[in-house]
Amino acid sequence: MRILAFILLTLALTGCASKFRSYDGPAVTRIVVYKAEREVHLLHHDAVLESFDMELGFAPEGTKERYGDGRTPEGRYFIDRRNPESRYHLSLGIDYPRGVDQQRATEAGVDPGGDIFFHGTPREFAGRDDWTAGCLAIPNRDIERMYAMVGIGTPVDIYAARPAPNPMVLPDPLRPAPLGR
């Protein structure tokens, strides 16, 4: 009976996939986010390594100004923490608020908020549009890949939208190519 229980336990545990993945490819040197397009791109210099779909805060337009506004910040940030025990599967924190964010909030007399993360998506929120409090929600399978690829200190550039191409300007090698949707 003990042998049967051991075999069943072993089979059950081998069927459980780990949320922790390994990655041995090129380093992610920059993360680019286009809010309007709901896109996250992981870059190695000018090459796009991975691209993911995402959901935003419940008030997705405009940059974050205060605690509770449901907006996702825009600007240059850096990954400053990793949370393997996130209630949203896995998460990578960004260093919001930075100096300009804090100054804007101080001048307005408001709390700028904080705790902005890239994180996974719980089952009850899967398929819903823009449900976070300002974070960037990515499907769990994608946050697993992102978590494996991205280190502390990685720059994160969050834009309101992808810039329109200008026929008079050569393409920006740091801007990811269109995804062909």
Query: How many whole angstroms from its chain centre is CA 117?
Result: 6
Q: Is 16 a catalytic residue?
A: no
Residue pair 159/62 in contact (Cβ under 8 Å)? The answer is: no
Distance in angstroms (rounded) separating the CA atoms of residues 83 and 72: 19
Q: Is 44 a catalytic residue?
A: no
Q: Give the CA distances from residue 12 to residues 1, 18, 21, in Å, rounded to whole numbers and listed in that order.
A: 17, 13, 20
45 is written with which tokens?
């210099």
Active-site residue identified among 16, 45, 89, 135: 135
Q: Which residues of 1-20 are buried (b: 16+ CB within 10 A; e: fewer)?
A: eeeeeeeeeeeeeeeeeebe
158: which strand partners? 33, 75
Helix or strand or coil: residue 78? strand
Active-site residue identified among 16, 45, 89, 119: 119
Which residues are catalytic, by number? 119, 135
